[in-house]
Amino acid sequence: MKKIISASRRTDPVSYFPDWLAAALRDERVRVLGPSRRVFTANLSPDAVHTVVLWSKDFSNLIRNVHGLRDALGKYAQTYFLFTVTGLGGSPIERGAPNLSEALGQLAGLVEIAGNPRRVSLRFDPIVHWREGGTIRSNLPFFETIADRAAGAGVEDIRLSFTQWYGKSVRRARSQGFDFVDPPMHQKLEEAGRLAEIAGRLGLQLFSCSQNFLTAVSGIRASSCIDGRLLRELHPSNEEVSVIKDRSQRPECGCTESVDIGSYAQTCPHSCLYCYANPKV
């Protein structure tokens, strides 16, 4: 059975390593430094790949075909895009990410490349709260604009979660003087309810990423950001693919198994303070 290739939960190769990604796709194989410093070789031959799933906060390199990246993807039967737009790009929280206007300006081009707006999913992920000048702020006010633009482009769903402050992200935030706030459960549920109301008015489906408590909110379902069933349905030949849960992900992650070719050696210049991977901060 063909594999789903993911690029990547660990870094953003589309935005910062397009030369490496394009070369890997052209070579149809790549050596990857994965978790626990394990090195493996991934087969990227079209005969072995069901779908290429690209995760990014900035798809401009793909849209502009930088290093021939768009051309290199053209030989694969299907590409699926997970586009993270939080509204925080260009702020001290996500210094290297594009601002909201720049990010949303990429939607039309991305849908065109996908060939079907169902092959594009937006990630309003994470929802961040922080204290600034005695006031608690968040990126929640950006959601309606993001949702409206997504619906206008034909995108059908948005995936979201609240920031999970892992030990290293806590240390990073404190070293940068970032006064983050982790709201209580009842507040998260209330805020998620308001987002679900906005999404419902626009005909969008909300999915919670690895936070199943949010499914208590009407209109929010558990996410499989990489969803073998959906990718099989969208595939031009309806080709079979694994629908087994990815055991390498968190217990509440609903993703089906894939091969992630991102490397922990590729430090990400988006510099997101909350990142669980390897940001350049």
Q: What is the pLDDT of residues 173-204, one digit of tens each?
A: 999 999 999 999 999 999 999 999 999 999 99
Please give the tally of structural domains in the chain.
1
End-to-end CA distance of the chain: 40
Domain presence at residue 274? no
Q: Which residues contact 64 (CB under 8 A, 6 or more apart)?
A: none
Domain presence at residue 63? yes
Domain presence at residue 265? no
Domain that holds residue 17: 3-260
Q: Give residue 37's pLDDT.
A: 79
Rounded CA separation 167/274 (Å): 10
| Amino acid (1-letter code) at residue 229 | R
In which residue are the tokens 């990126």 written?
139
**pLDDT above 90: residue 244:** yes
Q: How far is CA 55 from CA 8, 121, 160, 190, in A?
A: 6, 10, 14, 28
Task: Return the structure tokens found at 238.
Answer: 């309806």
Domain presence at residue 194? yes
Domain presence at residue 268? no
Domain presence at residue 73? yes
Q: Which pTM value belongs to this model?
A: 0.97
Rounded CA separation 21/45 (Å): 14
Domain presence at residue 272? no
Domain presence at residue 93? yes
pLDDT digits (tens, 9 = 90+) for 18-46: 999 999 999 999 999 877 778 999 999 99
Which CATH number characterizes residue 223's domain?
3.20.20
